[in-house]
């Protein structure tokens, strides 16, 4: 067995540090991209039918619009659930601050409506499938700060690849 010289040890250590630095830079870039620019997200469930599939879609969400105040009526957004902060909801913005929203309280059982004015710093969100969606009709207007991103592109499934239809 041959012993390594001090110069060889230094060379090995330098290469290890260089490779570790490359991995650390990549992980930092990945974190910044995922947190502040754009991230893929798996969304599923019945609340956004027919826009999104029940069994799941992979969508891209950008994280700049809500920071710059550029979300608007009709945008599909990722929102931290006001009822369970561990969950992220995918809903459509139907009202911005100052808007008067009239909604059907319980569409499965009656056609009774109620109106509310969206307060400053809040948005009104609803799923496209009003019969199977827990949204602002249940928990009220959502603080703007709970918006995590705006969905702008569907990646999966392949037959639905492309931008989302922003009409209701």
Active site residues: 47, 91
Domain 40-160, CATH: 2.10.109.10
Which residues sit opposite 95 in a β-bridge? 124
* pLDDT tens per residue, range 62-95: 988 888 888 999 999 999 999 999 999 999 999 9
Residue 99: band (very low, low, confident or very high) from pLDDT cuts 50, 70, 90: very high
**Do you know the residue count of the chain?**
168
* pLDDT tens per residue, range 11-35: 888 999 999 999 999 999 888 888 8
Strands 147-156 and 57-62: antiparallel
With pLDDT > 90 as the criterion, what percentage of the chain qualifies? 43
The stretches of 46-144 forming alpha helices (DSSP H) are: 65-68, 136-139
pLDDT at residue 112 greater than cutoff 50: yes
With pLDDT > 70 as the criterion, what percentage of the chain qualifies? 97
Helix (H) or strand (E) holding 148: strand 147-156
- Per-domain residue ranges of the chain: 40-160
Long-range CB pairs of 86-91 (<8 Å, 24+ gap) are 88/41, 88/148, 89/47, 89/125, 89/134, 89/135, 90/41, 90/43, 90/45, 90/47, 90/48, 90/52, 90/59, 90/151, 91/47, 91/48, 91/125, 91/126, 91/127, 91/133, 91/135
């Amino acid at each position: 067995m041959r012993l390594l010289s001090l110069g060889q040890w230094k060379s090995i250590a330098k290469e290890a540090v260089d490779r570790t630095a490359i991995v650390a830079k990549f992980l930092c870039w990945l974190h910044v991209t995922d947190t502040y620019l754009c991230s893929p997200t798996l969304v599923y469930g019945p609340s956004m039918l027919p826009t999104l599939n029940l069994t799941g879609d992979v969508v891209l969400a950008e994280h700049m619009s809500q920071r710059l105040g550029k979300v608007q009526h009709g945008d599909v957004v990722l929102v931290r659930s006001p009822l369970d902060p561990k969950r992220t909801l995918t809903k459509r913005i139907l009202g911005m601050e100052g808007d008067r929203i009239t909604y059907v309280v319980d569409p499965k059982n009656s056609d009774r409506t109620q109106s509310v004015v969206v307060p400053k710093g809040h948005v009104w969100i609803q799923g496209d499938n009003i019969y199977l969606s827990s949204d602002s009709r249940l928990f009220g207007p959502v603080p703007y700060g709970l918006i995590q991103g705006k969905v702008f592109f569907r990646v999966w499934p392949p037959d639905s690849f492309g931008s989302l239809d922003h009409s209701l």
